[in-house]
Structure 1
Amino acid sequence: TFIPQDATLFSGTLRENLDPFAEHTEAECIDVLQRVQMITDSQAVSQRTSAAASRATSIHEGEVGREATIASVSTSPTEADGKTVVTLDTQVSPGGTNFSQGQRQLIAMARALLRRSAIIVLDEATSSIDFATDAKIQATIREEFGGSLLLTVAHRLRTVIDYDRLIVLDKGELAEFDTPLNLIKKEGGIFRSMCLKSGTYAELEAAAKAKAESDMLQQ
């Protein structure tokens, strides 16, 4: 699965964008939206309840045996308590233009979670998302894709500081390749310089050390 910086969506419902071949249940689709912070926990519970009620409820339309399922359809993202609310029936404009770039990235991330791909390529996939949400998504990626190969073009150093290996490119050429801890300790190194200039060196170093210690315990 490839998750680009500017994720593109196609016209249709959000459900169709997440699961174009209808291979997953509504509950699974709602679950991945919740896990990437696209909807809140309370919204997820509400949508699961509504989906269950929609499937169970039918009405007679003047003749025996004729039934119509009650379904709630939202034509565009709506507002609730000042926050954008989406459902699986929310309509997506061509290219996803009725969603922000950050929201499109979250939807692409949810699609990857749903597919459980063996190889995930992330090209600055959370660059348009605030730090708090990015931290939650990074935690989700590590939890859900522990058995997948992650190739990440990073926008933020903290995004990859606990990866197994880092590649540093300089003018299109391979300049450094090693574990985060070795690179951050390398005197005169490019990655070390980037960390020092970030203003969060202590935090990055601590994360790199924690990763190294975790790897040693698993050996």
Structure 2
Amino acid sequence: MRLVEPASSQIMIDSIIISTIGLHDLRSCIAIIPQDPVLFRGTIRGNLDPANEYTDNEAWAAIRAVHISGALDTPTEKYNKPPNGEYSDKGPWVEGVGLKKWVKEDGSNFSVGQRQLISLCRALLWQHKIVILDEATANVDSKTNQTMQNDICHEFKGCTMLTIAHRLGTVMDSDRILVMDHGQMAEFSTPDNLLTNKNSHFSQLVESMNLNQGNRL
């Protein structure tokens, strides 16, 4: 995303060095689902499509694909007129549902898992060919994690997925796995090749994970 410019070497996409093009051109081709999902104060529609480039039907198709529609069925807040007829200064009072549901500052009226699914929905709607998942399921429960993994597997088939993860199950279906060790590349191969080599870092990590799970059982 070029939040930090490389000190050395270069990153290329389709033979284009990304440091030679504008930030808007680069970032408009990449979707990112971060560990801490970001939502902005406004409507769900405004969060999914801030530039108003997609139709309501396209937005709803993405919402249904990630199974988040249930969280949009009730309004964020509903104003109840006090008995004395005087309005309080609390607000805003937004009774919309669906795409008009109000999102509070930082998405505080949604759980972490729901915010993560909305971020996934946004990436799906934008249909960018490169999708980065930066520890996207680190802070969600196992049910939400499974939902996200299924959605990612089915909905992003035509995309290049870059997944940064510590949960090994998150990357088992990847085409290639890069194992980092002290900031350096230790291994880079298919999951099968790495697992076949019992001395590989990845194989030992998987074995350690299985042993720890066995001990907990």
Normalised to the residue count of structure 1, the TM-score between the two structures is 0.68
The amino acid across from 1:21 in the alignment is: A
- The equivalent residue for 1:189 is 200
- Residue in 1 that maps onto 2:56: 26
Q: Which amino acid aligns with 1:90?
A: K
* Offset at residue 171 of structure 1 (A): 1.0
- Alignment correspondent of 1:82: none
Aligned counterparts of 1:92 and 1:38: Cα–Cα separation in 2 = 14
Shift of 1:133: 3.0
Task: Name stretches of at least 5 consecutive residues in structure 1 with no aligned partner.
Answer: 48-72, 78-85, 202-219
Alignment of 1:105-124 (within 5 A): 105-124=116-135
CA displacement, residues 78-109 of structure 1 (integer Å, 9 cap, x when unaligned): xxxxxxxx622211112212222222111110
**In structure 1, what is the equivalent of residue 76 of structure 2?**
75
1:137 deviates by: 2.2
Matches within 5 A, 1:90-101: 90-101=101-112
Alignment of 1:1-219 (within 5 A): 1-40=31-70, 74-76=75-77, 87-199=98-210
Is the 2:66–2:121 contact (alpha carbons within 8 Å) kept by the matching residues of 1? yes
C-alpha change, 1:36 and 1:76, in structure 2 (3 Å) is farther
The number of residues matched between the two structures is 164
**Aligned-partner Cα distance in 1 for 2:124–2:44:** 15
Is the contact between residue 76 and residue 98 of structure 1 (CA under 8 Å) also seen in structure 2?
Answer: no
1:195 is displaced (CA, Å) by 0.7
| Partners of 1:167 and 1:177 within 8 A in 2 | yes
Q: CA deviation at 1:200?
A: 8.1
* Matches of 1:169 and 1:134, distance apart in 2: 23
User: Any conservation in 1 of the 2:68–2:114 contact (CA below 8 Å)?
Assistant: yes
Residues 76 and 109 in structure 2, CA contact (< 8 A), matched pair in contact too: no
In 1, distance between residues paired with 2:167 and 2:174? Answer: 13
RMSD of aligned Cα (Å): 2.4
Unmatched 5+ stretches in structure 2? 1-30, 79-96, 213-217
Change in Cα spacing, 1:76 to 1:106, as seen in structure 2 (3 Å) is farther
Identity of aligned residues (%): 43
In structure 1, what is the Cα distance between the partners aligned to 2:139 and 2:67?
14
Distance 1:128 1:14 in 2: 22
Q: Aligned partners of 2:100, 2:115: CA distance in 1, in Å? A: 16
